[in-house]
Amino acid sequence: MGSRRNGAVNVVDGPVPKHRQLRDILLAMVEGELVPDAPIPSERELVQRFGVSRATVREAVGRLVSEGRLYRVRGKGTFVAAPKVESQMHLASFTEDMRRRGHKPSTVVLGADETVAPPPARAALGLDVTDRAFRIERLRSADGAPMAHEVSWLPAAPLPDLLERDLMSSIYSILAHDYGRVLDSAAQTVWAEGADPLRARLLRVPPAAPLLVFRKTSYASGRPMEHVTSWYRADRYQVHMTLDSALHGHRPT
Ligand code: 16G
């Protein structure tokens, strides 16, 4: 943490790296004086105010962006993320998640069919053997470079004509705006996997490159709406989680 002189907090020489001190000072501003969506001071202002290099400012700000406390808007600046954005992070859509991290999302639809779901998806979605489901396969990119390969299963009955919508846009926002189904909870499992040759080609990585795999069932008001597996390039994507012992009653008294 920076030192306090004349009531102001400063970055000082010492064992704690300057970017770390500046990150803590900025976080105190985010949690104290700044409101969600307020801009933080520009890079130049921070350089002058704290007498640090541009590299230090970029490192400190970059950390808070990857922690979900700040977000960048290209050509406009860096802003305070609403606390809600972070707490709901695991349910953020790809489109929203990438924009919040300052990247431009794009999507290629590799397949979209109405069929019967295989047993694991059927069980996750609570469907009968004869119930119809949509299978949507997409390649998701950020700033033009592949980021994730996704295969989603969604129940057909509550989502009529879903395949006629623009599946290159956000499915989560289609569900919310066109069908009134706001995804509000999910169960997710994460593991690591080496890319198989097909996925390596899609994601433009060498075969066996590390991928982060997320398998998730998402619900809207308790009703399962999506069962999806996403393979993210581990060299391009990381996940930040806030863990709270209070949930399990272990907080020290
Ligand atoms: C994210 C989700 C994926 C979801 C997609 C919807 C993870 C690991 N993956 O990639 O489950 O289907 O977003 O994105 O959370 P969209 O709303 O942009 O279509």
User: pLDDT tens, 129-164?
Assistant: 999 999 999 999 988 999 999 999 999 999 999 999
Q: Is the CB of 98 under 6 A from ligand 1?
A: no
Give residue 124's pLDDT.
96
> pLDDT higher for 64 or 245?
64
Distance 140 CA to ligand 1 centre (A): 9
**What is the widest separation between alpha-carbon atoms in the chain?**
72
- For residue 99, the model assigns a pLDDT of 86
Structural domain 18-80, CATH architecture: Orthogonal Bundle (1.10)
Per-residue pLDDT band for 247 (boundaries 50, 70, 90) equals low
Residue 230 beta carbon below 6 angstroms from any ligand 1 atom: yes
Atom of ligand 1 nearest to the CA of 91: 15
State if residue 95 touches ligand 1 by the CB under 6 angstroms criterion: yes
How many whole angstroms separate alpha carbon 251 and alpha carbon 178? 42
Give long-range contacts, CB 8 A cutoff, 24+ apart: 5-12: 10/50, 10/51, 11/50, 11/51, 11/52, 11/56
The per-residue pLDDT of the chain, averaged, comes to: 87
pLDDT digits (tens, 9 = 90+) for 68-126: 788 888 888 999 986 532 333 457 789 988 888 788 999 999 999 999 999 999 999 99
Domain boundaries for CATH 3.40.1410.10 within the chain: 85-240
Residues carrying CATH 1.10.10.10, the chain: 18-80
**Segment among 37-46, 62-71, 150-159 with least mean pLDDT:** 62-71
User: Given this structure, which CATH class describes domain 85-240?
Assistant: alpha beta
Q: Is 151 within 8 Å of 196 (Cβ atoms)? A: no
Using the atom order of ligand 1, give the atom closest to the CA of residue 239.
8
CA dihedral 225, 198, 120, 178 (to 10 degrees): 10
Is 78 near ligand 1, meaning CB less than 6 Å away?
A: no
Question: Is ligand 1 within 6 A of the CB of residue 21?
Answer: no
Ligand 1 atom 8: residue of nearest CA: 214
Q: Give the pLDDT of residue 88.
A: 39
85 neighbors 71 (Cβ within 8 angstroms): yes
Residue 1 has pLDDT above 80, yes or no: no
Across the strands, what pairs with 71? 79
Banded pLDDT at 195 (limits 50, 70, 90): very high
